[in-house]
Amino acid sequence: MKLNIGIVGLPNVGKSTIFNALTETAKAGVANYPFCTIDPNVGIVDVPDERLQKLSEISNSEKIIPATIEFVDIAGLVKGASKGEGLGNQFLSNIRNVSAIAHVVRCFEDSDVVHVEGSVNPVRDAEIIETELILADLQTVEKRIEKVLKPAKSGNKEAKFELQALEKAKDILENIQPLRTNLDKFSEEEIEYMRKTIFPLTLKPIMYVANIGEEDLPEGEDNQYVKQIKEKAEKENAPVVVLSGKVEQELIEIPKEERKELLEAYGLKEPGLNKMIRTGYNLLDLITYFTTGEKETRAWTIKKGTKAPQAAGEIHSDFERGFIAAEVINYDELIKYGSMQKAKEAGAVRIEGKDYVVQDGDVMLFRFNV
């Protein structure tokens, strides 16, 4: 399942610092000047999940394999990107290829770190990028309208359907609004058409990442900039993750056994990046199911609403093709009984067929025949 999250933002807001901390690498260049990141950096990140350790203990597994999610660090954007300013065309091309957006906004003051707009204002910064994405989408929609207008007027049903969806999108974008906040104006078929045909940037789900200074930890509750971006996000029904990129970077630079002490010093229960990863996972509408045994305990990523045969297909295509049934027990139930054997003796392990919709936390064993 190829799903990824693009980390975007104006230059010098902390994108690459956060990306480096996420991936525990120094792949993304970090410097105090615009366009430090040119080509996108890609990192595969483990999804933190405490359930894996407990399942592994129950099964006495030799190893644990967590679910993963891909993050892409994309070059900083400036005004006029939709017209090719800065690295605009490259930026827009890169962002078109991701499944969702993590929009990093600067919520800290630091005279040593240049702000491309001259001052700290996260809402303004967010709107600069949003406007460029809207203008880029508007160009795409207008070009597509030119293509389908003639066949639509001649009575072609498919073209008429396209034109109807495109004209709705054009009206929204001309009012400088993103498509994702106007989904109620489209049918499900129209939304699906746009996602598969014109790949709108403003239709992608988004979360905001408020990058605060270490003095504002743990939650930045008194930080005026955090309050401002949360107010904007609330109107859009978008999640906000508050973290300090500087502290997250510090955490990965010290031995793992010392990290808990540093977290406690800042009043944190876990790294802020854990919240960012989980929020990204939810943003993509993903859930986790598990397989567990002596060899390994493993988390598998599927879209919410996936049925058992397709979930089995994530392990191997043969499992889906020859699917017969699945033995299923949810994680909480299994923990309650303490072992798979006791759960089976209590009749808590169910046999589910092809129409079963897999739930987050299901522990599954597939029966198949090829």
181 is in an annotated binding site: no
What distance in Å separates the CA atoms of residue 291 and residue 253, rounded to the nearest whole number? 33
Sign of CA dihedral 345, 346, 352, 358: negative
In the block, which residue shows the tokens 């599954």? 364
12 is in an annotated binding site: yes
16 is in an annotated binding site: yes
CB atoms within 10 A of CB 296: 14
13 is in an annotated binding site: yes
Here the contacts of 109-114 (C-beta below 8 Å, separation 24 or greater) are: 109/213, 110/213, 112/32, 113/12, 113/32, 114/12, 114/32, 114/33, 114/34
14 is in an annotated binding site: yes
Is the preceding peptide bond at 34 cis, omega within 30 degrees of 0?
Answer: no
Q: Which residues line the annotated binding site for ATP?
A: 12-17
Q: Which residues line the annotated binding site?
A: 12-17
